[in-house]
Chains A and B, each alone.
Chain A
């Protein structure tokens, strides 16, 4: 394998090294945080529907648990590699630390393609995974969650197996459960609302009245929808939203200068965030090409669709009126675009921080499950607001104090927090 070969783990380590340099961490801290604390590799034998037995490879990586039980998803992927799992576990450590929830970072997976498996076979894999790890995971050790190609159903099978083995009820073992089976209310809203909580704080810091702002949204999926809802509730005026059109296989921007009405738009939106063009026209929306959302003369841009949407080539089209970019999607901005932001003096709320509402809500699910109690949606969202706001302010202060770009500041604060926790525990 050649050296220039792209590897997610090496990339995560390189990113860590960069921040470690800023923080001037000592060698032992670097060594500890560069690699996972623990890794489990194991085989899961499964009796297949056709009577044969197949052995699947499973992993669990616990990168760091200085702050609390490891937290991270379980991926079912045919080409899963241990390096990918390691990188993702490390990112989970930083993500939990940046919002300041008492959890560590972990990730796991099984090499398999659910497209080639029946539901029964998948259930056997889930149960087999838990059987292999029953002693090493649990509400006080390591809390799995759904990830690529796994969902609430897989979590319930795993929880059930765990409880059978331990002979008791431990709903806090796993998150991503359906509401009514230990899941938390407010989960659907959490990520989108989280974006706007941080945006609201950013406006305060920048001396902008959010109710006087205008914004353009990219994407109309789950995150964008709730972000839009809360933004409008807070008095902001959203003038356009772009979304994917399944039929035309292209995206469109729906624009109305007088402002978008959330309820009105939701009525004409399908399950995948596709807006009905004809109906929208009737409601007075202009239908424009998908990429014009970025050129709008607004104060705020919220890319909440896919990764790599704001690039060097289109970032230059951003209007001079734009003051803040809140990254609702994962990795929407390329490094070239970051350079444009810096040049234009646009304030960025990095994805890492802005969309941490999801993991925070998972934490809430775990807390509620451990108490065997549940909160109302309002309670969940109020608590989410508190955590997100505090997290934003901490990152902002770090950025200002150390003259750091927001994206770097977010990493700096989370890595330094974890390093401190390890030190305080006497590990270092």
Chain B
């Protein structure tokens, strides 16, 4: 025990010492950053600030000497125990700073002094050098300014004074300026100046070639001509005097001098060899000059671009936008909040870049609009992308990088181990110091550690949710908080090597890209309510609405997903919980209108941080409301009261949070005429600034509005518009659409369920209409998940008057990949479409796409013959609904179109969608691998399943169990199994078969395979096998699954029993 506590105590002491040193440095920084402070004042303050930073402040004395002046602490006396650092300006020693101990103390690294104290003293000396340099330059520049400001009569005198002064103080600069003056005269076509230049410069011997053109002999070095400098200078000055206006000369001089002073920064930033640390240092050094804002526009732009490139990205689109909004000073502020490993050459990553740009756009607009007054950005610190490499290197973990080339099963198995290794690894003390400083800056508010991947902005790949974002409560002593934060950072680092992101990268051919991940440490927006911490509400907002629930809503009306508490529940689609959806451009057109809809589609749970357990937790909204009640900020504007089938808004005293039946509707917030217009304005502004639709994450503590993330909406893979090919032969097109098209990806479609509008309209009895709904529900269960589309007349999900559309509930359609409503005129009537309103939000949360078709409209193709002529598979798939064959048509696309699939491409930018017959992608790229060992690839989830089924058929003790035949069907047979698919087996057994033994046997397999699948994909299930037993009788009667045997479409495939 004591062995363990010893180093900790030691560490604590060391950390305290570091904190003292940092405080000292801060104080000095603070002092020197006051631009109006005089040298005398500054030096006195600095001298006094030093002792508290040293180990024994009581006996520490300080002396600063500068140009003959001496500044000391009180009761100064010299001693033999001292250290000294030189103060240099332009490589010339101009003074010293010395620290004395007036009593003897125990020896450390440098006599009685610590090595850290030596470093600190050097830093202070360096800072003082910069300060003196700035002061000098400033004095110089302001002198220039004064000169220029004086009445024009004296100008001639003044610019010559300036030159004189330069000549005496800065010879190289003087020469540069003379040269620039000469060049300037030359550009103005001054003959004498041109001659002077020719004489002064390089004598270029020219000769005339055969064609009479002048050519230079470029193989010989040119001869340099010496010239009489004084005479040359005088000539230039005379020429300038004669040919240029005095005020012109003065202005030019000032500009050139200024540019020269900044050249160090330009040089530092432009070379890729300078580390971020050096760039920060340069920024710090030149800050006073920069804040003066007199850089020439071209230099300034160049600097900005270089800085953007170094800190964020090389992407030209980003740079061209960012340079409009970003000031060089912004980088100065930024570098203050970067935790730099020594010699960092990394970048801050996509997320950080988006945030940085958004904050600058807002800052710029805030100057002209009141709307942005309460918009804030949470305090954020950054770790550049190479932080992770330093971490790996420091812990000698480099071999982990090769992890990504391993088999995904292995990656998944080893991942928990890697997380533990990372968590038990160390950071450099320098890095820990940096994090410690950040932590002091944050205080003890909860934090979120988010990844900011370089890939995110490089390839348009959406990595959101692939890497970890960790919430930490950040409670306890400084040491506890520090180790919790470091722990979180290492865990986020480890997530780079997690199976899911690697799989995702493999699918997109990004594996070889060297993934370095930046980190953002952000304060969590919110308030402490009892033992909980959370924002009042949070959410995501999109410029473009890709889920329009009414034809009155335009795409650019946008979309907000709003939840109480942390925004995690708005970012993710959970399927069984619902954020409040809103189109900020049309806030009054709600998704959910009826009483039942309103209470069903409301957030049921809330994510928050429990400060007592230090955990990120999910609770029931209702219990949190009861527990926190009036203490929950803005709750009154978030809830509605349900009373006797009536929804009302809390008024006056508000709701009784203990007894009232409350649901989250955000009604008060939405109708207060502030929140929604503000978000709309914000989205519009960011979209205009970033020149593309954006999505943002936001949170509010009830009074202020914080933006947490901002990125281009097109970055999200799911809603990128598909290119619409123009050269598809007409006969291959199945349908097209050009109204109310919303972006979204549809996988390759193998089956179409088509409810014929005309026949549906002609159905004579309500019973039959109901039956059609049931048949669709059955097909939804049988057909391969997300590989079929449902097409039907009018309004899917009609209740009551089911003539208007097929009577289904969400569970009857939840496996489709797309829901299509056809507004086809029948007789003199065109059905009105529902836009999926009956289960709209369920569709959204499950990413099921919706598309309305208007076959009677102009310029639209609706290939009716395809639907009419293709063979109807209904009676094979669901024989009990055979009689509905006139109305329900199930088309096996592959069967109907010679192995082709249906491809649906959607492009909302063009308001166009097209569905056409196409070759399946998989068969184009890889031919089926039938070798014994099937190498894992994301796309062949089915192959090993098939392989395993074959193995089972080989091994099953068929005679003993009474098994006659062994079949496989469904997704594993059809080569379209997903990571969560089960293996459907059809076992033909004898009447007296031992079902119990069979179940036992398959159960063992099922669980093993499930485990195997988990290792491959991360999906857990209770078992992977779905076993169906059929007897001779079943086969004869063709009852449900038995009909699969020898079916025309999608038949079960027989596997060979025994070896």
Residue ranges of A at the interface with B (Cβ–Cβ < 8 Å): 1-2, 4-6, 8, 11, 49, 77-81, 84, 113-121, 148-149, 151-153, 176, 178-179, 183, 187-188, 246-247, 249-250, 270-272, 307-308, 334-335
Judging by beta carbons under 8 Å apart, are B589 and A8 in contact? no
User: Are A2 and B575 touching (Cβ within 8 A)?
Assistant: no
- Quick one: CB contact mask for B516-539 with A, threshold 8 Å, 1 for yes? 000000000000000000000000
| B interface majority secondary structure | loop
B644 on interface, CB distance cutoff 8 Å: yes
Q: Which residues from chain A contact B834 at a C-beta distance below 8 Å?
A: 78, 113, 115
Which residue of chain A lies nearest to B761 when distances are taken between CB atoms in the complex?
A5
How far apart sit A246 and B742, CA to CA, in the bound complex (Å)?
27
Contact present for B576 and A246 (CB under 8 Å): yes
Contacts of B814 on A, CB cut-off 8 Å?
249
Task: Spot the interface stretch: B37-45, B337-345, B362-370, B594-602.
Answer: B594-602
Report A-chain residues with C-beta under 8 Å of the C-beta of B550.
Answer: 113, 115-116
Contact (Cβ within 8 A) B643 A116: no
Q: Looking at the complex, which one of B589, B769, B827, B837 makes contact with A1 (CB distance below 8 Å)?
A: B827
Q: 4 closest Cβ contacts across the A-B interface?
A: A118-B588, A4-B764, A152-B646, A178-B646
CB of B794 to closest CB in A, whole Å? 7
- B763 contacts A by Cβ under 8 Å: yes
Q: What is the chain B residue whose CB lies nearest that of A246?
A: B576
Q: Which residues of B contact A152 (CB under 8 A)?
A: 644-646
B1028 nearest CB across to chain A (Å): 16
Residues of A within 8 A of B552 (CB): 116
B213 interface residue per 8 A CB criterion: no
Known interface pairs A118-B589, A250-B811; 19 further A-B residue pairs with C-beta atoms within 8 A, sorted by A's residue number: A1-B827, A2-B762, A4-B764, A77-B800, A79-B801, A79-B804, A81-B801, A113-B550, A115-B549, A115-B589, A118-B588, A153-B646, A183-B646, A187-B644, A247-B575, A249-B811, A271-B599, A271-B600, A307-B770
Nearest chain-A residue to B661 (Cβ)?
A: A271
Cβ-defined contact, B766 with A11, below 8 A: yes
Q: Which residue of A lies closest to B576 (CB)?
A: A247
Closest to A178 in B: B646
Task: Say whether B600 contacts A6, CB under 8 Å.
Answer: no
Q: Measured between alpha carbons, how far is A11 from B802 in the docked complex, in Å?
A: 14
Asked whether, in the complex, the Cβ of A79 is within 8 Å of the Cβ of B827, the reply is no
Residue of A nearest to B805 (CB): A79
Is B688 in contact with chain A by the CB < 8 A criterion?
A: no
The docked-state distance in angstroms from the alpha carbon of A187 to that of B646 is 12
B855 within 8 A of A: no
B594 touches A149 (CB 8 A): yes
Q: Which residues of B contact A5 (CB under 8 A)?
A: 761-764
Most-contacted residue by chain B among A4, A79, A151, A247 (CB, 10 A): A79
* Assembly CA distance A113 to B811 (angstroms): 23
Q: Return the contact of B594 from the options A49, A114, A118, A250 (Cβ within 8 A).
A: A114
From B575, B600, B835, contact of A272 by CB (8 A): B600
Chain B residues numbered 569-616 whose CB sits less than 8 Å from any CB in chain A: 575-576, 588-591, 593-595, 599-600, 604
Contacts of B837 in A (CB 8 A): 113, 115
Chain B residues within an 8 Å CB radius of A176:
645
In the bound complex, CA of A145 to CA of B590 (Å): 23
B644 touches A6 (CB 8 A): no
* Nearest A residue (CB) for B578: A246
Q: A340 CB to closest chain B CB, in angstroms?
A: 15
User: Which range holds the interface residue count of chain B?
Assistant: 35 or more
Q: Is there an interface contact between B551 and A116, defined as CB atoms closer than 8 Å?
A: yes
Q: How far is the CB of A81 from chain B (nearest CB, A)?
A: 8
Q: Please, how many angstroms separate the alpha-carbon atoms of A334 and B767 in the complex?
A: 8
Which residues from A are CB-within-8-Å of B347? none
B832 to A178, Cβ gap below 8 A? no
B304 an interface residue at 8 Å Cβ cutoff?
A: no
Contacts of A8 in B (CB 8 A): 766, 801
In the complex, A176→B551 CA distance in Å? 31
Can you list 21 pairs linking A and B with CB atoms under 8 Å apart? A4-B762, A6-B764, A6-B769, A8-B766, A8-B801, A78-B795, A79-B794, A79-B832, A113-B834, A115-B590, A116-B589, A119-B588, A120-B588, A151-B595, A178-B644, A187-B645, A247-B575, A249-B811, A271-B642, A272-B600, A307-B770
Residues from chain B with a CB closer than 8 A to the CB of A79 are 794-795, 801, 803-804, 831-832
Q: Nearest Cβ distance between residue B843 and chain A, in whole angstroms?
A: 13
Give B810's nearest chain A residue, CB to CB. A249
B151 at the interface (CB under 8 A from A): no
B90: CB under 8 A from chain A? Answer: no
Is B2's CB within 8 Å of the partner chain A? no
Q: For chain B residues 598-649, which have a beta carbon within 8 Å of chain A?
A: 599-600, 604, 642-648
Whether A148 lies near B593 (C-beta < 8 A) is no
B residues near A1, Cβ cutoff 8 Å: 827
Q: How far is the CA of A118 from the CA of B600 in the complex (A)?
A: 19
Give complex CA distance A409, B331 in Å. Answer: 86
List chain B positions with a Cβ less than 8 A from chain A: 549-552, 575-576, 588-591, 593-595, 599-600, 604, 642-648, 663, 761-770, 794-795, 800-801, 803-804, 810-811, 814, 827, 831-832, 834-835, 837
Establish whether residues A151 and B646, one from each chain, have CB atoms under 8 Å apart when the complex forms.
yes
Query: Which of B593, B594, B831 has the largest count of A CB atoms less than 10 A from its CB?
Result: B593
B589–A117 touching, CB < 8 Å = yes
Smallest distance from the beta carbon of A93 to chain B beta carbons, Å? 19
In the complex, residue of chain A having the shortest beta-carbon distance to the beta carbon of B758 = A2
Does B588 contact A151, Cβ atoms closer than 8 Å?
no
A26 to B794, CA, bound (A): 41
Nearest A residue to B794 via CB reads: A79
A84 touches B766 (CB 8 A): no
CB distance from B574 to the nearest CB of A (A): 9
CB of B778, distance to nearest CB on chain A (Å): 12
A247 to B588: give the CA distance in the assembly, Å. 29
Across-interface contacts of A270 in B (CB, < 8 A): 604
Q: How long is the Cα–Cα vector from A369 to B480 in the complex, in angstroms?
A: 66
Q: How far is the CA of A308 from the CA of B777 in the complex (A)?
A: 14
**Distance A80 CA – B648 CA, assembled complex (angstroms):** 28
In the bound complex, residues from chain A placing their C-beta under 8 Å from that of B594 are 114, 149, 151
Bound-state Cα–Cα, A183 to B648, Å: 15
Do B801 and A84 touch (CB < 8 A)?
yes
Interface pair A151/B645, CB less than 8 Å apart: yes
Give min CB distance, A356 to chain B, whole Å. 18
A11: chain B residues at CB < 8 Å are 766
List, in ascending order, chain A residues with CB within 8 A of B763's CB.
4-6
Q: Which residues of A contact B600 (CB under 8 A)?
A: 271-272
Q: Are A178 and B576 in contact (CB under 8 A)?
A: no
Query: Does B589 contact A308, Cβ atoms closer than 8 Å?
Result: no
Return the chain A residue nearest B832 by Cβ.
A78
Q: Which residues of B contact A250 (CB under 8 A)?
A: 811
| Residues on the B chain within 8 Å of A78, using CB | 795, 832, 834
**Chain B: which residue is nearest A88 at the CB level?**
B800
| Nearest B-chain residue to A116, judged by Cβ | B550
Whole-angstrom distance between the Cβ of B788 and the nearest chain A Cβ: 17
Contacts of A4 in B (CB 8 A): 762-764
Whole-angstrom CA separation of A191 from B595 in the bound complex: 18
Report the separation of the CA atoms of residues A49 and B827 in the bound assembly, to the nearest whole angstrom: 33
Residues of A within 8 A of B761 (CB): 5
Cα distance A250–B812 in the bound complex, in angstroms? 10
Tell me the minimal C-beta distance from A276 to chain B in angstroms. Answer: 10
Q: Judge whether A179 and B643 touch: CB under 8 Å.
A: yes
**What are the residues of chain B within 8 A of A187 when measuring CB–CB?**
644-645
Contacts of B588 in A (CB 8 A): 49, 118-121
* Assembled-state Cα–Cα distance A307/B834 (Å): 22
Cβ of A115: which chain B residues have Cβ within 8 Å of it? 549-550, 589-591, 593, 834-835, 837
Residue of A nearest to B835 (CB): A115
**B537 shortest CB reach to chain A, Å:** 20
A49 vs B768: C-alpha distance in the bound complex, in angstroms?
41
CA distance A116 to B835 in the complex (A): 10
CA A116 to CA B827, docked complex, whole Å: 26
Q: Which of B590, B594, B599, B801 has the most CB of A within 10 A?
A: B801
**A335's closest neighbor in chain B, by CB?**
B767
Within 8 Å by CB of A308, from B576, B648, B770, B827, lies B770
Q: Find chain B residues with CB under 8 A from A80 CB.
A: 801
